Structure 1
Amino acid sequence: MRQLQVFLGIAEMGTTSAAGQKIALSQSATSAALNELEAALQVQLFDRVGKGLLLNENGRLLLPQAHLVLDAVRSMEAQFAQPDAAWPGLRIAASTTIGNYYLPDLFAHLQSTVATNKASGLPSLFIGNTSDVVQRIENYEADIGFIEGECHQAGIVVEPWLQEQLILVCHPQHALAQAAGQRCSVSDLQKEAWLLREAGSGTRETVEQYLSQQLQAFRCAGELGNSEAIKYAVAAGLGLSCLSVAVVQELLAAGRLIQLHPEFAPCERRFSLIYQAHKSASAQLAHFLQLVRRWPSVTQTAAPGEAGAAT
């Protein structure tokens, strides 16, 4: 097992010294483990290029199998280390809006299903953009991913999960906000400054495609790394944006943002579940997936923050 950990570390980091630091081994011990693995398999796994190591064809063949073996071992260790836990060692990765606004209610629902003789610990949660989540699933660093954007990687299963609406928002004193009851025209919106998420974000992908289709041309005045920053920038009068209802509902209720109603169709998107096609599912993981797939029926008429009460 240590040899496979070393192999994966070198494949990721590119040198034995960097891999050793990642897995807390000396460079000599890392090199020795690689030599032992190559001797056992009777093949070389890397091409030596300068001071670095690059996976060769043999290494690329071994890579997914090594991930599978270590993932199975990790799941087994977690289950036996926490026999009374509801979700032993379960690793979740989610893109930003889902992780911040939807998963807390989902976790509350999951906790309500836990038997009284089970520990109440939560799954571990990583939050990043869609590309970060896909990468974690590819590298077997997460068991289940929740994404807002697209995923076309081979070997990853993509399941439709929830539908969500994004709305146009502006500062209450913005000129477009003063035309109460009127729909905003394409020409009006083309003139405005738009605030967007960073490249690689599922929200950015959805909004950029939507605005391009509806406005043909629009001006991006700035990119910000999360939707929280964008909504407060809009509330400060720095531009318009198109954001998840879940993200802006609090500032809308407080009167710090105004929803704009365009003369064209609203923006909708689909959230998806993703996971490795060849991953062996433990009983806990299978049960978790079953509950997650059922959860949209609880929340389809409830905004985030209300779903826990609905359960």
Structure 2
Amino acid sequence: MSTLRLTLRQLQIFAAVAQTGSTSAAADVVSLSQSATSSALNELERLLGLRLFDRAGKRLLLNDNGRALLPRALAQLDGAGAIERLLDEDGPLSLALRLGASTTIGNYVLPRLLPQFLGDHLTRDRPSRLAQVRIGNTEAICEAVAAFELDAGLVEGPSRIGELVLTPWLQDEMVLVASPSLLEDATRAFTPKRLEAMVWLLRESGSGTREVTDQWLLPHLRGYRRTLELGSSEAILGAAASGIGVACLSRWVVDDALGSGKVVALTTTLPVMRRQCYLVTQARKQPTRAMARFVEMANTWGSRAGA
């Protein structure tokens, strides 16, 4: 067996520089001096016989060699972390899991799913790092899974990141809603021309809800004439209930408000829109026992919920 020349510490420093853009910023991440960080990076490039960064003033920008190395380095670092956690697999930390969810799933679906995963660990009188959950828009969660920052993600739309495996999960119906006070005649179907004149309450770019809204509506409308972007579905729902405009939101988000009469669903001439939600994992990641258990349970739960 040949002797390995590269070290995990060198790969860790390389990844930190790639993510921060400088050896000084990376030094804070890896708890080294700037000179030690720079020396380790130079040694890695010497061992590889390759330049990994282009120097632009004080900034270090990944070149083609660095971009090719980064996902492999992250995979090795993630695998090393999994080895360090092996003792946890049969102990009180056996459910350690870094999970991400896009905002609608995180707020409305995940709270019903997590208790099944955690089970009786919720009632055990012992310290336990059960599940770390990050909520963000679909793009942010997919990027975090691709970078090995999260073990798995549940998102409301597809991703174009090549390192990811997307498994179809739940389907979600999209609904157009507005305040009853905004509509003179809610029983008359809204045509595309009538919808064009409305104020549209929209999520930000990168949100799964925004992406599916654009895909559904823009082929039928000539564009949004008047828009207001808000950073959460809850804020959009509140704005719609107050009579500001029309919102396109998940059925999960609007059910209670529809039941209480705060908003009404618009009847339209548009086709029904259902979006596909996905379970997202990193193609290079070696699954831990907790991750494998969660993936299996989420797929089973999703099959039953969609039945």
What's the TM-score once normalised by structure 1's chain length? 0.87
Q: Counterpart in 1 of 2:141?
A: 133
Change (3 A) 1:98 1:65: same
Q: Compute the displacement of 1:272 (Å).
A: 0.7
8 Å contact kept, 2:186–2:266: no
8 Å contact kept, 1:86–1:114: no
Q: For 1:205 and 1:55, how far apart are their aligned partners in 2?
A: 29
Change (3 A) 1:38 1:26: same
Structure 2 residue ranges without an equivalent (≥5): 1-7
Q: Deviations over 1:247-300 (max 9, x none)?
A: 112222222111112123222101011112122122322221111111113323
Structure 1 residue ranges without an equivalent (≥5): 302-311
Identical-residue share of aligned pairs (%): 41
After superposition, where does 1:162-181 map in structure 2 within 5 Å?
Answer: 162-176=170-184, 178-180=185-187
Q: Counterpart in 1 of 2:269?
A: 263
Q: Counterpart in 2 of 1:246?
A: 252
8 Å contact kept, 1:87–1:123: no
Q: For 2:85 and 2:112, how far apart are their aligned partners in 1?
A: 25
Q: For 2:305 and 2:289, how far apart are their aligned partners in 1?
A: 25
Q: Compute the displacement of 1:219 (Å).
A: 2.6
Pairing 1:286–2:292 present: yes
Q: Counterpart in 1 of 2:66?
A: 59
**Greater displacement, 54-63 / 27-36:** 54-63
C-alpha RMSD of matched pairs (Å): 2.4
Q: Counterpart in 2 of 1:307?
A: none
Q: Compute the displacement of 1:15 (Å).
A: 0.8
After superposition, where does 1:1-311 map in structure 2 within 5 Å?
Answer: 1-81=8-88, 83-85=90-92, 87-112=94-119, 121-176=129-184, 178-180=185-187, 182-300=188-306
Q: For 1:89 and 1:5, how far apart are their aligned partners in 2?
A: 22
8 Å contact kept, 2:96–2:130: no
Q: For 1:143 and 1:197, how far apart are their aligned partners in 2?
A: 26
Change (3 A) 1:54 1:28: same
Matched residue of 2:166: which SS?
strand
Q: Deviations over 1:209-231 (max 9, x none)?
A: 11113334443421111111100
Q: For 2:227 and 2:97, how far apart are their aligned partners in 1?
A: 40
Q: For 1:33 and 1:253, how far apart are their aligned partners in 2?
A: 61
| 2:60 alignment partner AA | L
8 Å contact kept, 1:148–1:272: yes
Q: Compute the displacement of 1:86 (Å).
A: 6.2
| 1:103 alignment partner AA | L
**Greater displacement, 223-232 / 22-31:** 22-31
8 Å contact kept, 1:94–1:133: yes
8 Å contact kept, 1:131–1:200: yes
**Equivalences, count:** 299
Q: For 1:265 and 1:119, how far apart are their aligned partners in 2?
A: 51
Matched residue of 1:153: which SS?
coil
Change (3 A) 1:26 1:132: same
Q: Deviations over 1:132-179 (max 9, x none)?
A: 112112211111122212212223111110001011111121224x43
